[in-house]
Amino acid sequence: MRGIHPLAFGLALAIIALPAASLAQTEQHDHKAVAAAGTTAEGRTPAPPDAYVYIGWPNDGETLHTRHVKVWFGTRNFGVAPAGVDKPNTGHHHLLIDAPLPPLDQEIPNDKNHLHFGAGQTETTIDLPPGTHTLQLLMGDANHIPHNPPLMSKKITIHVE
């Protein structure tokens, strides 16, 4: 920050914030128009019909005696690439935890129920509280938007003791 006048910094912030604020307003007032712009079928990256993803571990219905759950991401007839890498027949994994499928024509949300693996990871270890949980993989393209057709695993249920 050295050498930048505080006022100039404030001004820059205001400039950055301004379009975001007006965008939010647009969404509020003209929700349909914004949604239509984001849902064009052409905007989704195609995936080959034989590609699929699955959860290698844990098994569906499994009871785990640990809260540290290792999840292995299976990908067949398709490749993994970090987020931002736009290459045909690749994408990166997203793990949905205790969440329904998000809208498939939009960026996958990024929160504790929708984990992004934009560094090209093919496995993870998550901490889950005791109880019944669901896990599902959803592949996203370079821009975190599901492919067309979407590549998603079966939604599995596990029990954490």
Partner 1 sequence: MNKISAILVAAMIMGLGSATAGDRKPAPQGASVYIVWPRDGGVIKDGKFWIRMGLSGAGIAPAGIDKANTGHHHLLIDTDLPPLDQEIPNDKNHLHFGAGQTEARIELPPGKHTLQLLFADANHLSFDPPIMSKKITITVPQ
Applying CB under 8 A, the residues found at the interface with partner 1 are: 56, 72-76, 78-82, 85, 87, 89-90, 117, 119-123
DSSP 13-67: HHHHHHHHHHHHHHHHHSHHHHHHHHT-GGGSPB--TT-EEEEEES-TT-EES-S
Least CB distance to partner 1 at residue 133 (A): 22
Residue (75 or 136) nearer to partner 1, CB: 75
Q: How far apart are CA 95 and CA 118, in angstroms?
A: 11
Residue (50 or 161) nearer to partner 1, CB: 50
- Specify burial of residue 148 (Cβ count, 10 A radius: 0-12, 13-18, 19+): middle
Least CB distance to partner 1 at residue 92 (A): 8
Residue (3 or 49) nearer to partner 1, CB: 49
Least CB distance to partner 1 at residue 73 (A): 8
